[in-house]
Each structure stands twice: as C-alpha cells, then as structure tokens.
Amino acid sequence: MPHHQFDKKSHAWSALFSEPMSDLVKRYTSSVFFDKRLWQADIRGSLAHADMLAHQGIISADDHAAIERGMEQIAQEIESGIFEWKLDLEDVHLNIEARLTVLVGIAGKRLHTGRSRNDQVATDVRLWLVGEIDLIVGLLTQLQTALVNMAEQHAEVIMPGFTHLQVAQPVSFGHHLLAYVEMFARDAERLLDVRRRTNRLPLGSAALAGTSYPLDREHVARALGMVDAQGNPAVCQNSLDAVSDRDFAIEFSAAASLCMVHISRMSEELILWMSQNFGFISLADRFTTGSSIMPQKKNPDVPELARGKTGRVVGHLMGLLTLMKGQPLAYNKDNQEDKEPLFDTVDTLKDTLRIFAEMAGGITVRPEAMERAALKGYATATDLADYMVKKGLPFRDAHEAVAHAVKYASEHQQDLSELELGILQSFHPQIEADVYEVLSLRGSLNARSTLGGTAPAQVRLQIARHRQRLAA
Ligand code: ARG
C-alpha cells in the first residue's frame, strides 16, 4: 500500500485521501503552468479579502499585517523569477497560498477563511481581463489614430470603390480607410461594454452557496475597483451564478473575434493592394519577407498571418461556448479550460493590433495606380445616369441609356469621358458639354457629399469628428 508514503501536507484536502495522485493525473489536472499569469490579480484579490476580514474582525490585525508582509515578499519573488512554481500545488492560487504559509505561518492559513478557490479564480480572471481590456482599448485607439492620420494625408486620393470586387464608383482612399476606423471604434465600444459586466465581484460567493462569515463584499469590490458607472460597488448577486459564470470570457472572445474579423478584412485588402495586379500600395520592408527561391518576391506575411490568426481567435470563441454548454450549476472543473483560449485570444489580439498600428505608418500609397484602376471600370456610369435624371429622364430609363453608352464605349475600348459629345447625345439628346465634368473621377467624388459620403469635404468632417472622439 503506497498510502503511508503520501505526503498529507502537499494537498489542501489530503486527509481524506488514501493514495497519491499519479504523475499523469497531476499533470492532467494542474493549471499552474498557464494560470500563473494571474498571479498579480490573485495577490490583489487576496489582499482585498484579507483587509476585509480584518475590518470585519474575522482575522486579527496581526494576521492581516503578516499576510500583507508575506504577499509583498511573494510578489518580489515572482517578479524576480525566483519563485518556485510547483506542479504538485496544482494552480496559481494554491502555489501562492502555500508559499504564504511557509513565510508567515498560521496567518497564511487564515487567509482562505470564507473563501473558496471557486470564487477566487472567478475573481482573478475577471480582474486580469479588465486590465487586459483596458490595454486592448488603448491599442485600438492607437490603430485608429494611425488610420485617421493616413486618411487625412490621402483624403483627395481617388481609388476605385468596389462591389463584388468589380469597379463600382470612385472613392477617396481616405474614406476607405475611415471605414476601418468605424469598425475599430465599434470594437472598442463593444469591449468597454463587456468590461462593465466583467468588472463585477464573485468573491464572497465561496464554494457555491455563500458563507456563514460576516463578509463585507461591497468593501472588497470597492477595494478592487469593481464599481459601476455611478461608483457603486459591483457585486455578483447570486453565489451559484457567480462561481460558474464565464459569460464575460465568452463575450470578450466574441468581441475579440469580431475585431480580428475586421483585421482580416483589412489584411485581405492590403494583400490585394500590394499585389502586382493592383499595385496600389507597398508595405515597409520590415513588415514583409522574401522568398527563399524567388528573388523578386516581397510577401505580405504580416497581414497574411493576421488573416490566419483570425481563425484561431474565432476557434477559441467556439471552444469557450462549447466548454460552457450543458454545464450544470455551479462550479465544475471544466472551467479551468477557460484560461488557455482566453489567454491566447488576448495575446493574439494585442500583438496583432500593435503590429497593425505600426504597419499603418509604413504604407506607401501609389495614387496614380489607384486612379488608373478607377478609370478602368466605367466608375462614373452612375454619374452619367444621375446627370440624365437632372435633365428630366426617369432614373430607370437613364440607367438603361447609360448601359448602352457603356456597351458602346467598351466595344470601342474607350472610357465614357473619352466619347465625343455627339456620340453621347445619341444615347440621350439633352446631354450637353457640361457632362464631361460629371464624367471625371474628381467630379464624381466631389458630388457624393451626403453625410458619410466619399466627397473629400465629408471625409475631412469625419476626420475632425474622429480626432475629437479619440482625444476624449
Ligand atoms: N484551477 C482551478 C480553475 O482554474 C481553480 C478552481 C478550482 N476549484 C475546485 N473546486 N477544484 O478553475
């Protein structure tokens, strides 16, 4: 019988167990090698809990002081890399608590009064995620600022706007860039909304049912900055829900996925634009790589990888949804599996946003190539139709007349603006010489001056609005 070799002190619950865990089971069930990244949140949560315990007279002032002292040393040990993380101690929480007890003795053992790892881990993940959301929102601001700067530089640059990837109407390149600013602005808004629901306190729910100690949960919430918009403490209101809810992680992943989807759309366009067939832009060399066999190549590896990493972030969302599906109340060990997908999502999103904000500044634009492309696909056909409407033709008839004009022009390999007035008049007799103004790309662009339209004057208004918003 191996049980007499079992070191009872190595586990918080060991008195009941008559045999040790096998190494395989230890490895399988432990999370310390990934959840140790929660250490700061874990210590913050513990300090707030201890402070409240002392305040409520549940532990003595001496014990409280000892816990604070011990935690300070532990933080230093972890920061300097000398802290010894032990697989045997399963997770970040037990590792830190065990070390605390080594350092300060019995006071360390009192820290867990009125608390369970179930409410502890839920608190830690929330605290950590709130901090990460703030960093991500900051990176989104940087990316938006970089795009707004570019948009301002290129407000007058004309490119073909596409639908179905067919040349549709000329648009300002600045306007095109601002479309992404809108997406990233919504991403930030979504994340801040998720932050509101994340920044609520599970601690005090204990294992699942609450606790018999006279805890002051609102005291802890305030200490941890878990407050609502009015500054009132934000405390999870149902203990069963509090320890088992991972909605916040799922919502965050959904917001992150959508942000990566936006990144992937932008990536796809950058990749197209820098292909030889478009030639609209080039990326600074530091964001591209060469080919080991084709010496002429400069590959857009960064946007391609970002496009690829979108799959992984969306995959994590599916993973988390599936993790929660069908879990009975309250805490189940399944939830330990929330961490790796969540951590990887945060890492991937942060790296991607950082690199895109930098890359935006390293894009060289080729206005001539964009304009040449805009001239190719009869991008001003709608303008000709609108011109005819102003001469009294119903829009449907104008549409038909212009279709004939485009057919004629393409048969003669000419642009609409290159057709002689007499020819144009054969499609509608009221066409006059001023038609050539609307057939120019610039005329078409300037004409689209509705709110949110591509006219450079509108683009500048939007730039001003974004600047004000981003400075706030
Ligand atoms: N490492 C665990 C997790 O990540 C902590 C909570 C463990 N609770 C328990 N009852 N086993 O979820």
Calculate how far, in angstroms, residue 254's C-alpha sits from the geometric centre of ligand 1.
24
Contacts of 3 (CB under 8 A, 6+ apart): 18, 19, 20
Q: How far is CA 266 from the centre of its chain?
A: 14
What local confidence, expressed as pLDDT, does residue 13 receive? Answer: 65
Best residue among 13, 86, 91, 203 to mutate for probing ligand 1's pocket (most ligand atoms within 8 Å of CB) is 91
Calculate how far, in angstroms, residue 333's C-alpha sits from the geometric centre of ligand 1.
6
Q: Considering the domain 31-113, what is its CATH architecture?
A: Orthogonal Bundle (1.10)
Q: State which fold the 118-154+173-365 domain adopts.
A: Fumarase C; Chain A, domain 2 (1.20.200)
Q: Whose CA is nearest to atom 11 of ligand 1?
A: 333
What local confidence, expressed as pLDDT, does residue 10 receive? Answer: 53
Best residue among 21, 118, 244, 338 to mutate for probing ligand 1's pocket (most ligand atoms within 8 Å of CB) is 118
Q: Whose CA is nearest to atom 10 of ligand 1?
A: 118
* Cβ 338 under 6 angstroms from ligand 1: no
3-state SS assignment for residue 419: coil
Percentages (nearest 5) of helix, strand, coil residues in the chain: 65, 5, 30
Residue type, 23: D
Q: Whose CA is nearest to atom 3 of ligand 1?
A: 336
Query: Are the beta carbons of 317 and 247 closer than 8 angstroms?
Result: no
- DSSP codes joined into one string, 205-234: STTTT--SS---HHHHHHHTT-B-TTS-B-
Instruction: Say yes or no: do domains 31-113 and 372-471 share a fold.
Output: no
What local confidence, expressed as pLDDT, does residue 1 receive? Answer: 42
pTM score > 0.85 for this model?
yes
What local confidence, expressed as pLDDT, does residue 11 receive? Answer: 61
Calculate how far, in angstroms, residue 338's C-alpha sits from the geometric centre of ligand 1.
11
Active site residues: 164, 291
- One of 3.40.50.300, 3.40.50.9100, 1.10.1040.10, 1.10.40.30 is the CATH number of 372-471, namely 1.10.40.30
As a whole number of angstroms, the distance between CA 216 and CA 43 comes to 19
Residue type, 71: M
- The two three-digit tokens of residue 90, written as one number: 């399963």
The domain segmentation of the chain, as residue ranges, is 31-113, 118-154+173-365, 372-471
What local confidence, expressed as pLDDT, does residue 5 receive? Answer: 46
Q: Is the peptide bond before 330 cis (omega within 30 degrees of 0)?
A: yes
As a whole number of angstroms, the distance between CA 184 and CA 141 comes to 8
* Cβ 31 under 6 angstroms from ligand 1: yes
pLDDT-flagged residues of the chain (< 50): 1-8
CB atoms within 10 A of CB 29: 13
* Cβ 120 under 6 angstroms from ligand 1: no
Q: Whose CA is nearest to atom 2 of ligand 1?
A: 336
Query: Are the beta carbons of 401 and 428 closer than 8 angstroms?
Result: yes
- Which ligand 1 atom is at minimum distance from the Cα of 331? 10
